[in-house]
Amino acid sequence: MSIRLNVASKLVCQPKGFRILSCRFRDSKADSYATESLDPGTPAVPVSQVSRQEAYEINQDQFEIRFTEQGLDSLVVNENIQPRELDMIRVIVGQLNVGVLGEYDQTVELMENFTQGECVTMFWVERNVIGHALHVNRGYVLETIFGVKDGQLVQIKKIRNLHMCTHKVPYFFGSAESIRQVSDVVSTVSSSESHIVITSTEFISGTTNVINTSKVSEGMVTTLYENISVRLESILPALNEPPEVKDPEPASMFIGRWLMESSMEDDLSLEV
């Protein structure tokens, strides 16, 4: 028997300049239920009542995502955002981080701006030809650094070395406690792997994290599986300019860190 928490939402974004997206979440829904399936990679059938989990539903406040040539850089959020909501935004938005310049058919090791820190990451980049051209008129063509044409496919696999991270932070997503509070529960991400698929009209990105959680007072160890995915649904003409972020404050991509000022308080650390 296992317990599943599902959070689904639509991420609506507009470009604001060359390297900024102005975004908000819409139609957020979260629920949990028990299932007999222990395989986190397969669809689950509820064997208990499905319970709504409003605490995990993401608010609709406007925020900004800022990019560099290497990928995700930082966020701009409302200064009154709750820490847990900020962490949820970080985890979901992190799926937009390609993290590698248009290199094809090769393996390369780079530093990646990940939610657990800036980590050494192994990238596998492959460019393939699909069996037939995707002649589906979606009304748009994706212009990416990979220059993918109809009938072509770019796949990116990322495996992170979580022992080689600067700004290393503990796993904290979804916790109701403050990161500065002493907790009886210790959670550590033991592995993190991402896959991205890009075609001329599709962008699909997903990450699987394996988390080991232990309760110090009871000596219990639990394994959690976290699956996060983002899929491009549509591209439509903007009807107007995106609204500004109210009471804006910069925030890093690192989970558990508050706004940008506090995220810079700690010295850089490299765990080996």
Q: What is residue 247's predicted lDDT score, i.e. its pLDDT? A: 95
Q: pTM of the prediction?
A: 0.85
Q: Is residue 93 part of a domain?
A: yes
> What mean pLDDT value characterizes the chain?
83
Residue 175 vs residue 46, higher pLDDT = 46
Contact (Cβ atoms closer than 8 angstroms) between residue 82 and residue 178 = no
SS (H, E, C) the chain: CEEEEEEEEEEEEEECCCCEEEEEEEEEEEEEEEECCCCCCCCCCECCCCEECHHHCCCCCCEEEEEECCEEEEEEEECCCCHHHHHHHHHHHHHHCCCCCCCCCEEEEEEEEECCEEEEEEEEEEEEECCCCCCCCCCCCCCCCCCCCCCEEEEEEEEEEEEEEECCCCCCCCCCCCCCCCCCEEEEEEEEEEEEEECCCCEEEEEEEEEEEEECCCCEEEEEEEEEEEECCCCCCCCCCCCCCCCEEEECCCCCCCCHHHHCCCCCCCCC
In-domain check, residue 272: no
Q: What CATH number is attached to the domain comprising 209?
A: 2.30.230
Residue 60 lies in domain: 2-232+240-267
Interval 184-216: pLDDT, tens? 777 888 999 999 999 989 999 999 999 888 877
Q: Check pLDDT > 80 for residue 268.
A: no
Mean pLDDT of 86-113: 86
| 262 pLDDT tier (thresholds 50, 70, 90) | very low
* 188 assigned to some structural domain: yes
- Residue 259: pLDDT above 70? no
- Let me know if residue 152 belongs to a domain: yes
Task: Tell me the per-residue pLDDT of 127-148, one tens digit each, with 9 for 90 and over.
Answer: 888 866 555 677 888 888 888 8
Q: Which of the residue ranges 79-88, 94-103, 108-117 would you say has the lowest mean pLDDT?
A: 94-103
Domain count, the chain: 1
CA geometry: angle 65, 68, 73, nearest 5 deg? 50
In a domain, 254, yes or no: yes
Average pLDDT over residues 219-241: 89
Predicted confidence (pLDDT) per residue in 70-92, tens digit: 789 999 999 999 888 898 899 99
